[in-house]
Structure 1
Amino acid sequence: MQRLQAYKYELMPDGQQARQIRRFAGSCRFIYNKALALQKERYEQGEKKLGYAGLCKRLTEWRNSAETAWLADSPVHPLQQTLKDLERAYTNFFAKRADLPRFKKKGQSDSFRYPDPKQIKLDHGNNRLFLPKLGWLRYRNSREVLGVVKNVTVSQSGGKWFVSIQTEREVEQPVPQATSAIGIDMGITRFVTLSDGAFYAPLHSFKRHEGALRKAQQAMSRKTKFSNNWKKAKARVQRIHSRIGNARRDFLHKASSAISQNHAMVCIEDLQVQNMSRSAAGSTENPGKNVRAKSGLNKSILDQGWFEFRRQLDYKLAWRGGWLVAVPPQNTSRTCPCCGHVSADNRKTQAQFLCVECGFEENADVVGAINVLRAGHARFACEVSGAVMPPAAGTHRSDSGAAQCLH
């Protein structure tokens, strides 16, 4: 089977290369904004939206125009990829998967992509990479690149430039090394609670750096906007944000890797994180209730990175031949795993579960994980037998070979 995988490294460009990278990123941002403005203008005039081919014709005109002749200094393929990104953004908007495309700002998600592998050269032994109109660039070689290079993306984060090398390679059909199944309950006090009683304590990456971030933002607000001191203060804020994100990603990768390595099937609640973290402020006419408490809860939910954790579990289980099964979260923490009695009185406190029917007592998160596992087993059995069962949104079967390893 074919496996697509990306390897990310920090670039170490010299002064001239760093200036060229900034110019290329700026050119891509300019093309994106210009094409977006053109699409909005055509919409206001009642004309049809231009497709990717039509935008590429306009790109040629812009590159040959005397007013924007500096666009010719940038490689054409990254500019074309920018138009593809805009076309994809409109497609997601019309499919109601995303909001309307917005104009890009300088310094926010600066990136560009080389799609042609024939123009890319990777010298892994000498820790360098060749890119069109940039030449050979040094990078911090932290691990070996496996597979054939398909494309390269250069991006900025925290004042540093990074390169992401996407590769494709043939791998054998994965067979799970483990044969066990586990249920997972997501929470705030405990980030992940497993049905066997083990749990992962939350990292609280944002909460740890919140004080330093507040001071850095206050210092930036006192500076004259766009002055040199303001730019330095802004760079400090960006570095703190980068540190928060790096710590969270590292924690999520370690937790998801450990779980996917030790279990062939993982059952997880189908949580709608976007709805759960929606603001409760309301409007002027209908103000919300308990806004301060809900705001703190939303901040804690987003600080955990629940959606990213599920995404990582999804592809890591697929790489190892396992299954990720999402089940409805209703009453998972209110149902007694011993007698099956469902009642809100079973969970009078956040942490403790006490069945009012049979007296079964256990940690509420462990009870939730056990019920998630049972629901996952039932859904898995229906999928294997072909029985009709309403699927939970996001239910994913990573590999058909996992059925044999579980029976």
Structure 2
Amino acid sequence: MSQKVCIEQVEVRGAIPYIGMCEDSFGEMVPVWSMNPVVVMDWLCDAWRCRYNQIRSRRMKWNRDGSELIPIGGAVDLRSDKQVREECSWLSSVPSMILQSPNRIENTDWWSANKRRRTLKKKHRYPGSMPRFKKRDTDPMFVCWYNRGANAVFRKFNRHHGEIVIFGQNSRANNLPGRRGCRFEIHIRVRLSEDIQPYTSVGVHPRSGYVVFVNDPLPVTRSRTGRETGIDRGCVHNLALSDGTFIDLPKHKLERIDKEIRRRQKAQARRISRSGLDAKTYVREHRQSNRYQAEQDRIRGLYRKAHAIINDFQQKTTTNLVKDYDLIVLENLSLKNMGRKARKIEDPLHPGRYLHNGQAAKRGLNRALRSASLGGVRQKLEYKTRRAYASSLLFVDPRNTSRMCSVCGHTCKENRESQAVFHCKKCGFQLNADTNAAVNILRRGHEQLLAGPGGSGRDITVSDETTKNFGSSATVSRKPTASTH
């Protein structure tokens, strides 16, 4: 896993890094040195991406008729790191721990992507396209190995501040004339929220403004509490617990960011319409414009800010849930199916036309589902419960959890009067619909534990840790009621 910290300042010290050759006003190629932190960081990002794509070019894919394997990029680059330094002058001064990192990272990315595609094919889902080259438009970044202190050394100043030092040196031929030393240091000052644990590498994202320390996550320190909860995930209430507690995203912040994003996107759309060009032509002609790039960077920054708010909320919430509850029960939701478009309904009286299918409302629901990021809660709970003492996570069948009465068990569509109101038509029991669903989820978790790992429905899964911690059925109530939660 990893620890993410914010970049506060970047400073280059020592020798002036050599970043390559450039054409001057007379058309001659001249060497370029720079102490500008922005230029140096962009140079390292471009060098890392270039080396990554050179290694990626060695990969093969089947041609269209499936008769032979061909390189995914046409030309194959088999040069070693040493040969690349000698033939590409702008890569000669890149620190070795940065130039070596794409070898392993590209290999890991390739095989993990292929394994994911095979898994999706087995599930009869769209596997997506083959892994490709890293594009210039993506978030620029580079990775530097720690290698037992050989590079990317972290130094802590105080409780909330520290710096990462990356070492490099120019070759004698490329060192600036008149300068004695050839070694340079890049000091990346960062802001901390917790102590940095032992790490293997750092991933630097200069434009996004953060650094990632790659390390193993610490186990969540906790003791047995004897408490259990069922959780219903949704859009109105992000998390509804079976004890009646609601845990919601900071929607006022996200709505304010979303409003600003839409305002800027509408301004861009007006600019395109006034130009008289189609969208693709306008983007192709204006993508190098400083104004267009600045607007795109602002929009990307707003998206990053919204994602950071959601991630921070989920990290803190899931950690507190793991600390407070010995057993957490979730629905085994198929989020991909929930986010699909509505099916088209052809008009039998007018061929080529379609009837109203509620796609406009479904579009708004899909937008809310993406904003709620329900899959992120599950992913974080999975790895945190595995590393926490006496904490377990259970997944149960989600069918009819929101339509079934948690008191009498009567199930019908009419029980759910609205999004928030549950009113049983048989016994008259009333409760918030999300809380009622959470109680049903917890009940199904209890039934699965009593029946054993293989004694219930196909959609119910029990982890080994859950079976070990809750193997005895004597401590589990068979019929929990709404009044006990």
Alignment TM-score, normalising by the size of structure 2? 0.71
Contact 1:325-1:397 at 8 Å conserved across structures: no
- Structure 2 distance, partners of 1:228, 1:170, is 43
Bigger Cα Rg: 2
- Structure 2 distance, partners of 1:176, 1:405, is 19
1:93-242 → structure 2 map (5 Å cutoff): 93-96=117-120, 98-100=127-129, 101-118=131-148, 119-120=150-151, 121-125=153-157, 127-133=162-168, 135-156=185-206, 159-168=207-216, 176-204=223-251, 206-221=254-269, 222=271, 224-242=286-304
Residues 1:326 and 2:395 aligned together:
yes
- Structure 2 distance, partners of 1:405, 1:26, is 57
Q: Which runs of 5+ in 2 are unaligned?
A: 12-34, 122-126, 169-183, 273-285, 347-351, 476-485
How far did residue 23 of structure 1 move? 2.2
Residues 1:402 and 2:431 aligned together:
no
Contact 2:143-2:203 at 8 Å conserved across structures: yes
Q: Which moved more, 1:39-48 or 1:192-201?
A: 39-48
- Structure 2 distance, partners of 1:271, 1:137, is 45
Q: Which residue of structure 2 lines up, in the alignment, with residue 27 of structure 1?
A: 47
How far did residue 295 of structure 1 move? 0.3
1:298 corresponds to which of 360, 363, 366? 366
- Structure 1 distance, partners of 2:345, 2:93, is 49
Q: Which residue of structure 1 lines up, in the alignment, with residue 3 of structure 2?
A: 7
1:257-272 → structure 2 map (5 Å cutoff): 257-272=319-334
How far did residue 195 of structure 1 move? 0.7
- Structure 1 distance, partners of 2:4, 2:41, is 17
1:280 corresponds to which of 339, 342, 351? 342
How far did residue 306 of structure 1 move? 0.6
1:12-91 → structure 2 map (5 Å cutoff): 12-14=9-11, 16-36=36-56, 39=59, 43=63, 46-48=67-69, 57-58=78-79, 60=81, 63=84, 66=87, 68=88, 70-74=90-94, 75-84=98-107, 85-91=109-115
Deviations 1:316-360 (A, max 9, x none): 333332111111110101111212222222223222222222222
Q: 1:40 to 1:279 in 2, by over 3 A?
A: farther
- Structure 2 distance, partners of 1:289, 1:340, is 32
Q: 1:314 to 1:82 in 2, by over 3 A?
A: closer
SS in 1 for 2:136: coil
- Structure 1 distance, partners of 2:58, 2:238, is 46
How far did residue 405 of structure 1 move? 10
Q: 1:167 to 1:182 in 2, by over 3 A?
A: same
SS in 1 for 2:225: coil
How far did residue 397 of structure 1 move? 5.2
How far did residue 104 of structure 1 move? 2.9
Residues 1:307 and 2:307 aligned together:
no
SS in 1 for 2:199: strand
- Structure 2 distance, partners of 1:296, 1:235, is 26
Q: Which amino acid aligns with 1:130?
A: V
1:354 corresponds to which of 412, 416, 423? 423
- Structure 1 distance, partners of 2:440, 2:417, is 18
SS in 2 for 1:160: coil
- Structure 2 distance, partners of 1:381, 1:132, is 59
Q: Which residue of structure 1 lines up, in the alignment, with residue 456 of structure 2?
A: 389
How far did residue 286 of structure 1 move? 8.7
Deviations 1:76-95 (A, max 9, x none): 22221342223432333344
How far did residue 143 of structure 1 move? 3.6
- Structure 2 distance, partners of 1:401, 1:248, is 33
Deviations 1:124-164 (A, max 9, x none): 237222334373423223244354222222225xx333211
Q: Which residue of structure 2 lines up, in the alignment, with residue 338 of structure 1?
A: 407
- Structure 1 distance, partners of 2:344, 2:45, is 39
Contact 2:227-2:326 at 8 Å conserved across structures: yes
Contact 1:318-1:398 at 8 Å conserved across structures: yes
Q: Which amino acid aligns with 1:370?
A: V
Q: 1:30 to 1:154 in 2, by over 3 A?
A: same
- Structure 1 distance, partners of 2:345, 2:139, is 31
Question: When the two structures are aligned, how many residues end up with a matched partner?
Answer: 394
SS in 1 for 2:470: helix
Q: Which residue of structure 1 lines up, in the alignment, with residue 116 of structure 2?
A: 92
How far did residue 232 of structure 1 move? 1.8
RMSD of Structure 2 on Structure 1 (CA): 3.5
Q: 1:191 to 1:399 in 2, by over 3 A?
A: same
Q: 1:387 to 1:294 in 2, by over 3 A?
A: closer
- Structure 2 distance, partners of 1:282, 1:70, is 54
Give the structure with the higher percent helix. Answer: 1
How far did residue 267 of structure 1 move? 0.6
Q: Which runs of 5+ in 1 are unaligned?
A: none
Identity across matched positions, percent:
22
Alignment TM-score, normalising by the size of structure 1? 0.83
Q: Which amino acid aligns with 1:99?
A: G
